[in-house]
């Protein structure tokens, strides 16, 4: 199905869409997010996102304030201190091949290098993340996604029963972490939030159930001994990241990719050639406590 063009009718405009992955991800072209004033068009983008989990809008050219304003139609943009922000706009963060752990060892840091969902260490994690490819390397630097509705639905009935109602502690610096996260000032590290979230969450808009995992931030299942918790979390992660649940996004300059953290995980790849630059602008919008 990849590459098959499809049309979504709406009044007064028609969105040109292209399915990117078989079971998730869609691209829209021919629109300018900075000039998308029609509520119908916005509602269609929201529907495309809810149906496809990952929405790519091609060919954008957005200065940081315009990017923030366009994303504000999807929710309330939030600031995140853990990432550098653009000088023009506090709510637009930077993800770059130049990122270094400036307060830690000063070495290169690849944000999001292992499977995760954004912000799960927060009580109210962001709902959506928007990443805008300002400079993308010609080869490599893809972002991988997994469909966590599909991963949940494919579990055995026994496993669904076993995990029903379980809760997991998520931390900024988890002892299970699989990639380095940037060191923060001491006061901020001490006050870094920790949150307890359901292992299976229900999406507030679609009503569908999804596995809610974060390989990099989960600490332990509440009320389960450590070894058993580790085994179960490892098993669920290994299941969720199987190739059949994945979509791999190959970036084009000007792509704005919007994903729903409530029903996906994602992962960055720093596999592009030494010396190639990758510069992304990033906005997240507020979410609610997972239930
Ligand atoms: C993020 C993230 C992945 C990438 O912005 O939250 O994980 O490929 N980015 O840069
Ligand atoms: Mn991320």
* Share of residues in the chain with pLDDT > 70 (%): 95
Averaged over 134-152, what is the pLDDT?
A: 98
Q: Distance, CA 66 to ligand 2 centroid (Å)?
A: 22
Residue reference for tokens 């091609």: 58
User: Does 136 contact ligand 1 (Cβ within 6 A)?
Assistant: no
Show the 3-state SS of 7-38.
EECCCCCCEEEEECCCCCCEEEECCCHHHCCC
Query: Which range among 6-15, 82-91, 99-108, 266-275 shows the weakest confidence by mean pLDDT?
Result: 6-15
Averaged over 5-18, what is the pLDDT?
A: 60
Note the Cα 56 to chain centre separation in Å.
13
Query: Which range among 10-14, 58-62, 84-88, 285-289 shows the weakest confidence by mean pLDDT?
Result: 10-14
Ligand 1 atom closest to the Cα of residue 280 is 10
Q: What is the pLDDT of residues 215-225, one digit of tens each?
A: 999 999 999 99
User: Does 109 contact ligand 1 (Cβ within 6 A)?
Assistant: no
Helix (H) or strand (E) holding 143: strand 143-147
User: Does 268 contact ligand 1 (Cβ within 6 A)?
Assistant: yes
Averaged over 145-164, what is the pLDDT?
A: 98
Q: Distance, CA 58 to ligand 2 centroid (Å)?
A: 20
pLDDT at residue 4 in the model: 46
| Separate counts of helices (H) and strands (E) for the chain | 6, 17
User: Does 240 contact ligand 1 (Cβ within 6 A)?
Assistant: no
Nearest to 120 by CA among 221, 208, 190, 212: 212
Q: What is the pLDDT of residues 237-271, one digit of tens each?
A: 999 999 999 999 999 999 999 999 999 999 999 99
- Ligand nearest to C-alpha 250: 1
Ligand 1 atom closest to the Cα of residue 142 is 8
Torsion region of 215: left, alpha or beta (phi above 0 gives left; psi -120 to 50 gives alpha)? alpha
Query: Could you give the CA distance from residue 170 to residue 78 in angstroms, rounded to a whole number?
Result: 20
Q: Distance, CA 129 to ligand 2 centroid (Å)?
A: 8
Query: Could you give the CA distance from residue 128 to residue 178 in angstroms, rounded to a whole number?
Result: 23
Question: 56-73: b or e for each residue (b if 16 or more CB lie within 10 Å)?
Answer: bbbebebebebbbbbbee
Ligand 1 atom closest to the Cα of residue 269 is 8
- Ligand nearest to C-alpha 113: 1
User: Does 266 contact ligand 1 (Cβ within 6 A)?
Assistant: yes
pLDDT at residue 106 in the model: 84
pLDDT at residue 131 in the model: 98
Atom 10 of ligand 1, residue of closest alpha carbon: 268
Q: What is the pLDDT of residues 12-30, one digit of tens each?
A: 456 899 999 989 999 999 9
Supply the pTM of this predicted model: 0.93
User: Does 57 contact ligand 1 (Cβ within 6 A)?
Assistant: no
User: Does 55 contact ligand 1 (Cβ within 6 A)?
Assistant: no
């Amino acid at each position: 199905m990849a590459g098959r063009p499809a049309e979504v009718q709406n009044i007064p405009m028609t969105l040109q869409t292209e399915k990117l992955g078989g079971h998730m991800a869609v691209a829209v072209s021919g629109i300018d997010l900075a000039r998308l004033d029609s509520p119908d068009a916005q509602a269609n983008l929201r529907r495309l996102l809810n149906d496809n989990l990952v929405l790519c809008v091609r060919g954008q050219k957005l200065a940081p304030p315009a990017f923030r304003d366009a994303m504000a139609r999807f929710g309330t943009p939030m600031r995140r201190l853990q990432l550098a922000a653009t000088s023009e706009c506090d709510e637009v963060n930077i993800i770059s091949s130049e990122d270094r752990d400036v307060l830690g060892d000063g070495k290169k840091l690849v944000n999001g290098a292992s499977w995760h969902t954004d912000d799960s260490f927060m009580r109210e994690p962001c709902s959506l993340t928007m990443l805008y490819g300002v400079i993308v390397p010609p080869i490599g630097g893809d972002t991988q996604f997994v469909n966590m509705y599909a991963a949940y639905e494919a579990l055995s009935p026994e496993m669904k029963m076993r995990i029903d109602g379980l809760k997991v502690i998520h931390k900024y610096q988890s002892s299970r972490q699989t990639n380095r996260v940037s060191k923060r000032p001491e006061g901020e590290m001490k006050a870094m939030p920790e949150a307890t979230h359901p292992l299976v969450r229900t999406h507030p808009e679609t009503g569908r159930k999804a596995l809610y995992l974060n390989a990099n931030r989960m600490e332990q299942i509440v009320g389960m001994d450590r070894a058993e918790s580790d085994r179960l979390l490892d098993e669920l992660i290994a299941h969720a990241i199987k190739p059949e649940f994945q979509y791999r996004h190959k970036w084009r300059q000007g792509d704005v990719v919007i994903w729903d953290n409530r029903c996906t995980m994602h992962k960055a790849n720093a596999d592009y050639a030494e010396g190639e630059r990758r510069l992304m602008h990033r906005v997240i919008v507020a979410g609610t406590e997972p239930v």
